[in-house]
Amino acid sequence: MVRSLLPLGAALLGATTVLAADIPTCSLEKKCPEEAPCCSQYGQCGVGAFCLGGCDPRMSFSLDSCVPAPVCKDKTYKMDSLDRYKDISEYLGDPETADWVGQGEPLLYDGNVLLTMPPKSVGTVLATTTYMWYGNVKATLKTSRGAGVVTAFILFSDVKDEIDYEWVGVDLHTAQTNYYFQGIPDYTHTGNLTVDGNTYDEFHEYEIQWTPDEIRWLIDGKLGRTQKRSDTWNETSNQWAYPQTPARVQISLWPGGLETNAKGTIDWAGGKIDWNSDEIQDYGYYFATFKEVTVECYKTDKAPGTNKGVSYYYNDISATNDTVVDSDKPTVLKSLLGTGTDMDKGDSTTSGSASASSSSVAYIPGGGSAPPNQVPGDENSDDSGSDSGSGTGGSSGGSSTGDSLACATSGFVQSCGQSGTSNSNAGARDVERGLGASAFAVVVGFAGLLLL
């Protein structure tokens, strides 16, 4: 059951997780073994990419198994190029070589980045290579649409503090917001904000203002919601149940309505995904469009929230903001065989690229296959003249259809049409997921088809 994997109820792996028997799993009660010391965002143990973004030091073999996280940098990311994007199989932890790291198939179209989700896939996720320890972040985007299709823009820390925007594809006038402390799934924190206009056809700017004292959610510059830390005291745990640790910006498109998900997840996502919808027929995939992301770091002279050094790490398993250290520790592995305690293990075959020799230990979480390279407006689309936000327009990219899903290795899992997955966690999240926006928006979708 989910709660045996994460005793605090975070349900990191979602309702349909299938893990390979030879890859150890991890939780607060079951830490990773020394030979595979890093607990990835997906609740699996390994080396290399497992030890970089998303590595949870609380569930790893030791606090220093995870590689320190690059500190916050003020930056506007114009989403008009993929030159600064790397798949996790190519990234070694140096933020100077990439702005975004991820899995799936981000594509360029009409000067914007599309996050795509072809049939029987688990979509696409991108995360910044640097971390915010408080600050402001804005994303200008158009959501996807359709039953079961979920677009997300979140802040997500390695110890699973989270601040969310999520959009369910059957409601193009509402942004769902939520926050979580260390992955504890309290869905009473959700709040829905009305969007002026249509989230699919029109770009809107969504903003999160995050300080040690409050979170503010804004849409097109208008304040929609405020959450004060002073209202989050938990008398049972004797601490503030408030997001407070360095977090990456994550943007994603994921299948809440995957047919193997728990009923509560599917219902929340607006129903099962139609893999033969007009969107799939026209373009070969569902997609969300991102135009720009801006990060402004919190400005303070002393912790919490500083960004004076090179990296952040934790000096205590409690993983609260008073245990975060703004340090000069390095963030770059020599290869995908490295860990936080042995960062020089292995060697790069070329400068800035990742490498790993054959090993019994996993070094790329969820290694698998990629969707076809296809963008709206190709020869599969009958509408080639408009650009109203639906993604139709000039031809670009490949011509693969949704019926011919590619299965080439790229460090990202797709089911390639497989079905009948074992579902030992079915029903474990029915109640939780029916109460509001999801915890771990990205993880639930990706974990559902990991290592089939």
Q: Check residue 406 and give its pLDDT.
A: 31
Q: Which of 80, 72, 223 is nearest to 140 (CA)?
A: 80
User: Is the Cβ–Cβ distance between 357 and 350 less than 8 Å?
Assistant: no
Q: Check residue 360 and give its pLDDT.
A: 58
pLDDT tens digits for range 85-134: 999 999 999 999 999 999 999 999 999 999 999 998 999 999 999 999 99
pLDDT tens digits for range 375-416: 443 333 333 333 333 332 222 222 222 333 332 222 222 233
Q: Which of 132, 125, 69 is nearest to 101 (CA)?
A: 125
User: Is the Cβ–Cβ distance between 106 and 116 less than 8 Å?
Assistant: yes
Q: Which of 325, 415, 410 is nearest to 87 (CA)?
A: 410
Record the tokens describing residue 380, joined without a space: 């599969």
Pairing verdict, β 85-87 and 100-103: parallel
Q: Check residue 377 and give its pLDDT.
A: 36
Q: What mean pLDDT, rounded, does the chain reach? A: 79
Q: Which of 41, 64, 95 is nearest to 310 (CA)?
A: 95
Flag whether pLDDT at 164 surpasses 60.
yes
Q: Check residue 347 and give its pLDDT.
A: 74
CA atoms 257, 247, 216, 80: torsion sign: negative
Domain hosting 254: range is: 70-300+368-447
Phi, psi (rounded to 5 degrees) for 430: -55, -50
pLDDT tier, 352 (very low <50, low <70, confident <90, very high otherwise): low
Rounded Cα gap, residues 305 and 301, in angstroms: 9
Flag whether pLDDT at 287 surpasses 60.
yes
Provide the number of structural domains found in the chain.
1
Flag whether pLDDT at 432 surpasses 90.
no
Half-sphere exposure of 36 (CA within 13 A, CB side): 22
DSSP three-state, residue 263 = helix
Q: Check residue 386 and give its pLDDT.
A: 32
Rounded Cα gap, residues 31 and 58, in angstroms: 8
User: Is the Cβ–Cβ distance between 310 and 70 less than 8 Å?
Assistant: yes
Cα–Cα distances in angstroms (integers) from residue 170 to residues 151, 199, 411, in the given order: 11, 11, 30
Q: Write the DSSP assignment of 93-125 as a string of letters.
A: S-TTS-SEEEES-EEEETTEEEEEE-TTB--EE
| Residue 111 domain-assigned (yes or no) | yes
- Percentage of the chain with pLDDT > 70? 73
| Residue 279 domain-assigned (yes or no) | yes
Q: Check residue 237 and give its pLDDT.
A: 86
Cα–Cα distances in angstroms (integers) from residue 413 to residues 320, 334, 352, in the given order: 33, 25, 24
Region 52-66: mean pLDDT is 98
| Residue 103 domain-assigned (yes or no) | yes
Residue with tokens 């915890």: 439
User: Is the Cβ–Cβ distance between 287 and 114 less than 8 Å?
Assistant: yes
Rounded Cα gap, residues 41 and 144, in angstroms: 24
DSSP three-state, residue 89 = helix
Rounded Cα gap, residues 12 and 156, in angstroms: 13
User: Is the Cβ–Cβ distance between 335 and 92 less than 8 Å?
Assistant: yes
Record the tokens describing residue 327, joined without a space: 């340090």
| Residue 62 domain-assigned (yes or no) | no
CA atoms 49, 52, 55, 58: torsion sign: positive
CATH no. for residue 145?
2.60.120.200
pLDDT tens digits for range 70-80: 999 999 999 99
Region 257-284: mean pLDDT is 95
Record the tokens describing residue 387, joined without a space: 């650009």
CA angle 163, 165, 169 (to 5 degrees): 150
Rounded Cα gap, residues 221 and 206, in angstroms: 8
Residue 385: how many other CB atoms lie within 10 Å = 8
Q: Which residues are tagged catalytic?
A: 162, 166
Rounded Cα gap, residues 43 and 25, in angstroms: 6
User: Is the Cβ–Cβ distance between 290 and 79 less than 8 Å?
Assistant: yes
Q: Check residue 187 and give its pLDDT.
A: 79
Q: Check residue 23 and give its pLDDT.
A: 85
DSSP three-state, residue 234 = strand
Region 233-255: mean pLDDT is 95
DSSP three-state, residue 447 = helix
| Residue 403 domain-assigned (yes or no) | yes
22-28 contacts: CB < 8 A, separation 24 or more? Answer: 22/360, 23/362, 23/451, 26/56, 26/59, 26/60, 27/59, 28/58, 28/59
Flag whether pLDDT at 450 surpasses 80.
no
Amino acid, single-letter form, for residue 53: G
Amino acid, single-letter form, for residue 163: I
Flag whether pLDDT at 252 surpasses 80.
yes
| Residue 80 domain-assigned (yes or no) | yes
| Residue 191 domain-assigned (yes or no) | yes
Flag whether pLDDT at 270 surpasses 60.
yes
Four-point Cα dihedral 370, 373, 374, 378, nearest 10: -150
Least confident of 28-37, 159-168, 375-384: 375-384
Q: Check residue 9 and give its pLDDT.
A: 24
Q: Check residue 348 and give its pLDDT.
A: 53
Amino acid, single-letter form, for residue 20: A
Phi, psi (rounded to 5 degrees) for 431: -70, -45
Rounded Cα gap, residues 439 and 63, in angstroms: 24
| Residue 61 domain-assigned (yes or no) | no
Record the tokens describing residue 297, joined without a space: 């770091």
